[in-house]
Amino acid sequence: METRIGIIGGGILRIALARALSIIAGHHVTVLETEATLASHQTGRNAGVVHAGLYYQPGSLKAQLCARGMAMTREYCQQHALPYQELGKLVVALDDSPLGRLANIEQRAIKNRVPSSARLERDELRDIEPHAAGIAALHSPRTASVDYSAITRRMAEDVVQAGGQILCSTEVTAIQNLGDTCLVSTSDTTHRFAQLIVCAGLQSDIIARMVGASPSPKILPFRGEYWEMSKDSAPMVNAMIYPVPDPRFPFLGVHFTRGVNGEVHVGPNAVPALSREGYSWRSISVKDTVESLRWSGAPSLVKKYWKMGLAEIGASLAKPLCLKQAQAYLPELSSADLVAKGKAGVRAQAWDKDGSLLDYFAVDRVGPVTLLRNARSPVASSAMAIAEYVLEHFPISRRR
């Protein structure tokens, strides 16, 4: 007997789950998405990188799912003639200070069996990126660029072909937990599901309150803003140029990413968004901002990261400050080379009561409802593998 499963949210992870549950497990799946189109938020507003798994703890589930997800994404794109370009990535050390961290990443890449990764010295890195600064780098040639929105739309077609439903422009207004089933109300109708998966991104803590789950972790929206390089200057970047991550900070910092259409993004920065969907400084919600400031973890978060926060806000408001950060990696870059701010994204960062920022999934179960919060990078790269893992390890996917 099939299980009728509901999924709230229309990003790539939700559609990958819907596809796996309908095609592989044979369930009837209904996806409820507030927006008029799928992939409207985090999925459609990132740089489109398929990560190879350089950074993650060897043997961890995160590392395993990233490696498996990259392979599955590549195969799916090849099957459906979707763009998949293995451009490669350089993780660059500008001076001696990050060399220890770079060596640690190199060891993780080896243990994670990241394909073809290699340590490069100054001359070798310039063979790949002639305009880049730096004294050493780790090269990941299989890191790829894709269009995650296109992948999401194609997987949605698979869901519909398997008998599932994708209902856009459908806002969830209430959820009633009946113990063995749940009722999900929208503006149009009420659905009864045997199981419900909530992966609602920026709205996930609001939906959690609807089902009686803990308010923690709360979602803290961070906006990432990209500049785009001009067509004349874009050839200065062949692929992707990244900094060595600093574990003291929760965000990576400015980097360069070439997309599947040849565009080169510079960024993102990371600034607090003043509303859950605050894609610009003009988008302000007093309610959302006050809720964040009143959260119990706010004082410790501000105390820990206020200097970094001010620097990020400054780079957001003043182009010369952003340019200075970018020139550290691409010295020839000029202000005229940064022609326009591209499509900003807002990350749904899960934030605990003690002020800590969660690094990966937070999962809650309330009766027939499973809540997935903090679906952050490399979730897009890993989406198909995560869906496969859910089918194998969670009772939500089993036939009744």
pLDDT tens per residue across span 21-49 = 999 888 999 999 999 999 999 899 988 99
The residue with greater pLDDT, 384 or 270, is: 384
Q: By 3-state DSSP, what share of the chain in percent is helix, strand and coil, each rounded to 5?
A: 35, 25, 40
Give the DSSP letter of residue 21: I
pLDDT of residue 395: 63
The whole-chain average pLDDT of the chain stands at: 91
pLDDT of residue 203: 87
Is the pLDDT confidence value at 341 over 70? yes
Superfamily the domain 4-45+149-217+358-397 falls into? FAD/NAD(P)-binding domain (3.50.50.60)
pLDDT of residue 391: 84
Given phi > 0 = left and psi -120 to 50 = alpha, else beta, which region is 217? beta
Supply the pTM of this predicted model. Answer: 0.93
pLDDT of residue 126: 96
Is the pLDDT confidence value at 238 over 90? yes
**pLDDT bucket at 268, cuts 50 / 70 / 90:** confident
pLDDT of residue 305: 85
Contact partners, residue 289, CB within 8 Å, separation at least 6: 274, 275
Is the pLDDT confidence value at 293 over 90? no
Say how far apart CA 99 and CA 165 lie, in whole Å.
50
Q: Are the C-beta atoms of 258 and 214 separated by less than 8 Å?
A: no
- Average pLDDT estimate for 296-321: 88
Gyration radius of the chain over CA positions: 21
- Residue 197's nearest CA partner among 74, 75, 53, 16 is 16
Given phi > 0 = left and psi -120 to 50 = alpha, else beta, which region is 198? beta
**pLDDT bucket at 298, cuts 50 / 70 / 90:** confident
Q: At what angle do helices 379-393 and 12-19 cross, to 10 degrees?
A: 30
Strands lying side by side in the sheet with 190-193: 172-177, 182-186, 190-193
pLDDT of residue 3: 59
pLDDT of residue 360: 64
Is the pLDDT confidence value at 135 over 70? yes
Is the pLDDT confidence value at 374 over 90? no
**pLDDT bucket at 1, cuts 50 / 70 / 90:** very low
Q: Are the C-beta atoms of 217 and 352 separated by less than 8 Å?
A: yes
Give the least confident one: 84-93, 210-219, 260-269. 210-219
Say how far apart CA 299 and CA 282 lie, in whole Å.
25
Cα 1 to Cα 17, 29, 183, 399, distances in angstroms: 19, 14, 20, 7
